């Protein structure tokens, strides 16, 4: 619940191209991971996976809130040194990465 609240707050105002709140994508990723029966830290990392890339939250924020197990570098390999930010208008970051 705490990880959901963290992600929801971080993604406030962001929307997918469909118009849905961006958090729906994060929840979908976490749900898939939970169905795969991965460890809880991996499910939490899935829920938070776009937080570092698309919001002003940092990996240090995640480490402070959820510990090293969730914030370990191996769980965040897709993150870039200079991430592109999602716009509040939609999935801009997805288009820029194609």
Q: How far apart are the first and last CA of the chain?
A: 32
Active site residue 53: yes
Q: Which of 53, 61, 65, 69 is catalytic?
A: 53
Strand segments, DSSP code E, in the chain are none
Q: Which of 20, 35, 50, 54 is catalytic?
A: 54
Question: Are 58 and 90 within 8 A, CB to CB?
Answer: no
Rounded Cα distance, 23 and 25, in Å: 5
Active-site annotation, residues: 53-54
């Amino acid at each position: 619940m705490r990880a959901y609240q963290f992600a929801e707050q971080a993604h406030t105002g962001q929307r997918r191209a469909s118009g849905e709140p961006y958090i729906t994508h994060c929840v979908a990723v976490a749900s898939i991971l939970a169905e795969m029966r991965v460890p809880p830290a991996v499910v939490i990392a899935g829920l938070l996976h776009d937080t570092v890339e698309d919001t002003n939250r940092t990996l240090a924020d995640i480490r402070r809130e959820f510990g090293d197990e969730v914030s370990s570098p191996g769980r965040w390999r897709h993150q870039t040194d200079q991430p592109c930010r999602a716009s509040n208008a939609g999935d801009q970051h997805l288009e820029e990465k194609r």
